[in-house]
Amino acid sequence: MGWFDDNFIPAVDGVAYGLLLFVVAAGLTLAFGSGGVLNLAHGTLYAFAAYTATAVADGSWVGLALAVLAGIGAGAAGGGVLAALTAPIAGRGHMAQAMLTFGVALVGGDLLTTWFGKDDPQVLVPGALEKPVSILGHNYPGYRLAFIVVAIVLGVGGWYVLARTRIGAAVRASVDDPEMLAAGGISPARVRTGVLVAAGALAGLAGGLGAPIIGPSTSVANTVLLQSLLVVVIGGLGSVGGALLAAILVGEVQTLGVTLMPDLAPYLLFATMAVMLIARTARFGPTGSRV
């Protein structure tokens, strides 16, 4: 039991971290799969939302709700800007658009430090959530526990929308074959904008809810982008279940891995990615399309 006791808290933390990454990665997959944009500014959207939420939150419950809404709004607005910026070059292929979002990430990162300063701000959450909660004899931060619950509820809701509603069917169709959807009378440009705004909103939701877990800082954009890219690569492009497992895995490596093997943790993620890629491509050949 000793080992379990020592590592229980990091393990639960890993789940919280992983679920947060899953929300971010879902937006990334949506933008790429359906909108055709590899959004290298996705982490910047997260950072923007996290900063905004932190600025809005004042420690009250209303403040928390407003902060999350503000985060979603910030992310969605950022997604809209990206949609507008990439629209003129949508016909030039994935690479040009990826380059453009790369530029947006650099500009956005600079603007964020200018607006919000270089210090890492602390998020004020309602007092009730700041208290540690006792689970299985361990004290655990209440906010994170609440986040896990909220994320699971969101996940189930998201699954319901995707799998059981007309909108979900349209999104799934647009991931599979955007042109086919266009042939079905749905404007691809509008789908594209909608998808990028929705993807931004997902990053914003993650930023708004996750600010107390992965807080806003000058480096957070890159960290979140990189880790959510890893989630997408490990989980397999377009696979929601795979992404969820990969997100939990990455979360555990970031928390449990750091506790157990502090020296090896950074490489562990890379090794996981390598193994997954080799395993997958050994069966199906090179992944990713030439553009």
Partner 1 sequence: MTTLALRARTALHSPRARLVGRVLAVAAIVWLFAAPYLVGLFTLILLSQALSLGVLAASVAVLGGGAGLPSLGQVAPYAVGGYTAAILAEHGMRIGVVHTLVAAAAGALFNALTAPIVVRTRGVTVLMITLAVGELVRTAAEKWKSVTGGTDGKSGVPPIQPFWGMGDLVDDVDTYWYVLLTTLVVIGITAVVLRSPAGLLLDGARENETRMRATGHPVTRYLSVTYIGVGALAGVAGALLISVQRYISPAHIGFDTSSLVLLAVVIGGGASLVGAMIGAGLIVFTRDWLSGPWPGHGPLLLGALFLIAVYTLPGGLVGLTAGGPRAAWRALGRATGTPDLPDEPADPEKAETAEKAEEGKAEKPATTEQAAPPAADPDALLTITGLTRRYGALAAVDGLDLTVRRGARHALLGPNGAGKSTVLGMIAGATPVTSGTIVFAGRDITRLAPARRSRIGIARAFQQPAVVPSLSVLDNVALAAWRHARITGAAWRPVRYRALAGEAATHLETVGLTDRADEIAGELSHGSRRLLDIAMALAGHPTLLLLDEPAAGLTDTDIVRLATVLKALPAEVTMVLVEHNFALVREVTDTVTVLASGQLLATGTPDEIAADQAVRDTYLGASEPEHQEVG
* Angle between helix 42-56 and 2-33 (nearest 10): 110
Q: Which part of the chain contacts partner 1 (CB under 8 A), choosing from 13-21, 149-157, 180-188, 229-237?
A: 229-237
Distance, CA of 18 to CA of 34 (rounded, Å): 23
Q: Which part of the chain contacts partner 1 (CB under 8 A), choosing from 62-70, 76-84, 196-204, 281-289?
A: 281-289
Task: List the beta bridge partners of residue 139.
Answer: 134
Site string for partner 1, 21-60 (x = CB under 8 A): -----------x-----x-x--------------------
Q: Which of 2, 137, 185, 288 binds partner 1 (CB under 8 A)?
A: 288
Q: Is 267 in the site for partner 1 (CB under 8 A)?
A: yes
Q: What is the DSSP letter of 121?
A: P
Best CA proximity match to 198, nearest among 27, 60, 15, 70: 27
81-to-19, 55, 127 alpha-carbon distances in Å = 26, 21, 36
User: Do the beta carbons of residue 235 and residue 246 sit within 8 Å?
Assistant: yes
Distance, CA of 253 to CA of 276 (rounded, Å): 15
**Minimum Å distance from CB 219 to partner 1?**
9
Q: Which of 14, 109, 216, 242 binds partner 1 (CB under 8 A)?
A: 109
Q: Is 105 in the site for partner 1 (CB under 8 A)?
A: yes
Residues between 125 and 154 that touch partner 1 (CB under 8 A): none
Q: Which of 222, 238, 245, 259 binds partner 1 (CB under 8 A)?
A: 222
